[in-house]
Amino acid sequence: MKLEVRDLVQRFGTTTVLDGLGLLTGEVRALVLVGPSGGGKSTLLRILAGLDVPVAGSVAFDGETLPRDETALRAYRRTVGTVFQSYNLFPHLSALENLLLPLIHVHGLSMPEARARVREPLERFQLMAHAHKRPAELSGGQKQRIAILRALVVKPKRLFLDEPTSALDPEMTAEVLEMIGELKTLGTQFVLVTHEMGCARRVADELAFVGDGRVLAHGSPADIIDRCSVPRVRSFFARILP
Amino acid sequence: MPRWLAHILVVALVAAGIGLALVRAEYVWNWALVWEYRQRFLQGFGVTIVLSLAALVVSTLVGIVAALLLGSKHALLEAMGRVYVEVIRGTPLLVQLLLGFYVVANAVGLENRYVVGVLVLSLFSGAYMAEIFRGGLAAIPRTQRDSARAIGLTPWQSHRLVILPQAVRIVLPAVAGQFVSLVKDSSLLSVIAVSEFTLAAQEVNSFTYSTLESYLPLAAGYLLLTLPLSALSRLLERRFQYET
């Protein structure tokens, strides 16, 4: 995918969260967004995922500009997948029913078709044994992996992952990061917002540092994390890296 | 101590207390005379069941509509819902029944007191239902709506497949509790001469001057209707206890 974001502005009430944000990537499979909390990463991701409409500016993936009206945006959302920090799964449905719901009700598969579609991914990610459990019976890591799988089984053009490990303990974080690493190996395209710099370094083709509502730095992971000349970015990594 | 034994023990203690009070009051019982009016009791009991069931259905519908008004983004619709709920919940059912029957129903030419009774009772109970439903919808986290949108559901699908199934589980215990209140509140329909259970007891009392023999069966009759509803409410509460 090739992403072009131009002059993006987003406001909530009187607070300006994105302040003329711009970002032009090369041809990438995995784009990772990092930066301080409240800097605008998640707001940017919600716009990229077609969940929110910016006040001004434009977003284009591979030359196709995202629409602004809800019906067209819904059609767009059906071609991509989004995973939030937590509470992705519908608690009244089992893990399996969570996976089947979009396939049947959004993508028009029959029940047997949908079941056939989810079998292989459930096995590959070792989640078959948990398929009939309700979300309340799953661990945090299992919930997030099922949520990623739900986004994946509809065969989206790309995934949007909004801090998928921020609500997890270290062990579960490792289990979800491992799955994200595997996605990369499988060739799935995704945009990931994360605070896990180790993961960012491993999977990112390009890394964008979002702060104060703008992209303050953008390049290869090593360029940004190890040798960035922008003071704001440098001080950020100096504080969080050992 | 097992729970059922504890229940029996408490009921026995309360019964003993009431029995003792009755002995001290030196009340002279005359069950034989009241027994002759058993048909009147049964008929009133039947009317109470039918009225309650009707009001139960209508008040649920009223509650849904009012909850939608309360949740509306349109200021006028929201105001209509809010005024309805506050006025109804802030005034006695007795006043609503008298005004509803002698003023409103009279003005529009509605003469059937049973129909008026069910309507007023439903409007009364519907205001409480509306708040229960609104609370149930508000209890569903925003991320659930986000997730529903993210997988591409339409707003209608999102309500049907995601929001409502969860909201129903949340509100069921409270709704069952509201139904208990509704059954008891139907006793007030006696003031507009609807021939229900309470009016039956009042009539038998005035014929026989046997107050307790008329009203104790009344209490037992209401318990017969409300205890199963309470049990159902607790059962539902346990069954749908899953956290997110």
pLDDT in tens, B201-216: 999 999 988 888 999 9
User: What are B225-241's pLDDT values in tens digits?
Assistant: 999 988 888 888 777 76
pLDDT, position B163: 92
Into how many domains does chain A fold? 1
Does A42 fall in a domain? yes
Residues of A in contact with B150 (CB under 8 A): 49, 51, 77, 81-82, 84, 151
Listed in sequence order, the residues at least 6 apart from B107 whose beta carbon sits closer than 8 Å to its beta carbon are none
CATH of the domain at A34: 3.40.50.300
For residues B119-148, give the mean pLDDT.
Answer: 94
Instruction: Decide: B197 and B222 in contact? Cβ < 8 Å.
Output: yes
A242 has pLDDT over 80: no
Does A146 fall in a domain? no
Does A55 fall in a domain? yes
d(CA B87, CA A107): 47
User: What are A45-90's pLDDT values in tens digits?
Assistant: 999 999 999 999 999 999 999 999 999 999 999 999 999 998 899 9
Of A82, A101, A134, the CB nearest to B150: A82
Distance from CA of B125 to the nearest CA of A (A): 28
pLDDT, position B241: 65
Q: Both tokens of residue B209?
A: 């001057």
- Strand A56-61 and strand A30-34: pairing? unpaired
Structural domain boundaries of chain B?
37-239
d(CA A223, CA A215): 14
User: What are B17-27's pLDDT values in tens digits?
Assistant: 988 998 898 88
A107 has pLDDT over 50: yes
| Cα dihedral across residues A11, A16, A19, A25: positive or negative | negative
Domain B37-239 bears CATH identifier 3.30.70.980: no
Instruction: Decide: B55 and B122 in contact? Cβ < 8 Å.
Output: yes
pLDDT, position A86: 86
For residues B57-63, give the mean pLDDT.
Answer: 96
pLDDT > 90 fraction of chain B, expressed in percent and rounded: 67
Does A23 fall in a domain? yes
Lowest pLDDT segment from B32-36, B87-91, B158-162: B32-36
Name the phi and psi angles at A195, rounded to 5: -105, 0
Instruction: Decide: A112 and A103 in contact? Cβ < 8 Å.
Output: no
Residues of A in contact with B159 (CB under 8 A): none
Of A74, A84, A92, the CB nearest to B147: A84
Put simply, the answer to whether B242 touches A77 (Cβ < 8 Å) is no
Does A106 fall in a domain? no
Residues of A in contact with B169 (CB under 8 A): 92
The overall average pLDDT reported for chain B is 91
A96 has pLDDT over 90: yes
Listed in sequence order, the residues at least 6 apart from B109 whose beta carbon sits closer than 8 Å to its beta carbon are none
Residue B241 forms contact with A (CB below 8 Å) = no
> What is the span of the domain harbouring residue A197?
3-90+157-240
For residues A129-147, give the mean pLDDT.
Answer: 93
Count the alpha carbons within 13 Å of B87 in the hemisphere toward its beta carbon: 10
Q: Both tokens of residue B1?
A: 């101590």
Using CA coordinates, name the residue in chain B closest to A50. B150
pLDDT > 90 fraction of chain A, expressed in percent and rounded: 86
**In whole angstroms, what separates CA A197 from the centre of its chain?**
15
Does A130 fall in a domain? no
B1 has pLDDT over 90: no
For residues B164-192, give the mean pLDDT.
Answer: 91
Put simply, the answer to whether B143 touches A88 (Cβ < 8 Å) is yes
B168 has pLDDT over 90: no
Task: Specify which residues A10 forms β-bridges with.
Answer: A18
pLDDT, position A83: 95
Residues of A in contact with B165 (CB under 8 A): 92
